[in-house]
């Protein structure tokens, strides 16, 4: 048995939690209509020129028998979204210019502002999953003490973190449109709505006014 497997067994014994089997994992996913949020370039945060942030409310059932973070890790991994992490959301405004990101709320709740300083404040809760196209600004404003997020990334991109400098903004405008769509929806797989919502198409004309839906 590997050291990783040993560590997992010890963690399961200590917490009473376990990782779901593949057939159990599929049963934990709930069908949900996506909520879409669109943001324009505000001159500081570029956001994405075509694709919306996608929010699946309460999309994943997290029963007490399972480690809630492991549920999201395994779900995202099964759909090709890897390099996962467990943490909170940074409390400063930032974005990724060369990769998309998914976040699943394993515990607690938080208010996160998306799209930049003039963007949209959204309360996210246990069981929610959010898919952020490259360039989407995000910043944690407040959170419960037990707030925990699992993040992951598709293979179609390169991880980076940009903040709010004019130099980074100029670079991001060139790299964001080149980040290709993921091969699978991180929650719903090949049949998920993300692939339809993030189709390749010509960029919209950018303005400095933010919109959301």
At 195-204, the pLDDT tens digits run: 999 986 544 5
pLDDT tens track for 49-60? 999 999 999 999
Pick 6 or 113 by higher pLDDT: 113
Kindly tell me if the per-residue pLDDT of 116 is higher than 90: yes
Instruction: Supply φ then ψ for residue 196, to 5 degrees.
Output: -75, -40
Domain 3-197: homologous superfamily in CATH: Jelly Rolls (2.60.120.10)
Quick check: 207 pLDDT over 70?
Answer: no
pTM: 0.86
* ∠ Cα 80 83 150 (to 5°): 95
Strands (E) across 115-180 are located at 120-125, 129-132, 138-143, 148-154
- Mean of pLDDT values over 140-146: 98
Share of the chain above pLDDT 90, in %: 83
pLDDT at residue number 2: 54
């Amino acid at each position: 048995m590997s050291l990783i497997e040993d560590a997992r067994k010890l963690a399961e014994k200590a917490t009473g939690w376990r990782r779901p089997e593949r057939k159990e994992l599929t049963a934990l996913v709930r069908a949900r209509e996506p909520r879409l949020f669109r943001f324009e370039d505000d001159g500081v945060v570029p956001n994405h020129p075509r694709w919306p942030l996608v929010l699946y409310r309460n999309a994943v059932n997290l029963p007490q028998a399972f480690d809630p973070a492991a549920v999201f890790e395994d779900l995202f991994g099964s759909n090709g979204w890897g390099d996962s992490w467990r943490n909170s959301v940074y409390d400063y405004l930032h974005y990724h210019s060369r990769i998309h990101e998914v976040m699943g709320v394993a515990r607690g709740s938080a208010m996160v502002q998306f799209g930049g300083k003039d963007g949209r404040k959204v309360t996210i809760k246990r069981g929610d999953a959010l898919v952020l196209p490259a360039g989407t600004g995000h910043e944690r404003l407040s959170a419960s003490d037990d707030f925990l997020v699992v993040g992951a990334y598709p293979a179609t991109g390169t991880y980076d973190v940009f903040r709010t400098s004019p130099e980074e903004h100029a670079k991001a405008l060139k790299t964001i449109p080149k980040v290709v769509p993921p091969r699978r929806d991180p929650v719903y797989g090949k049949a998920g709505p993300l692939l339809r919502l993030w189709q390749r198409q010509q960029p919209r004309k950018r303005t400095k006014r933010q919109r959301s839906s």
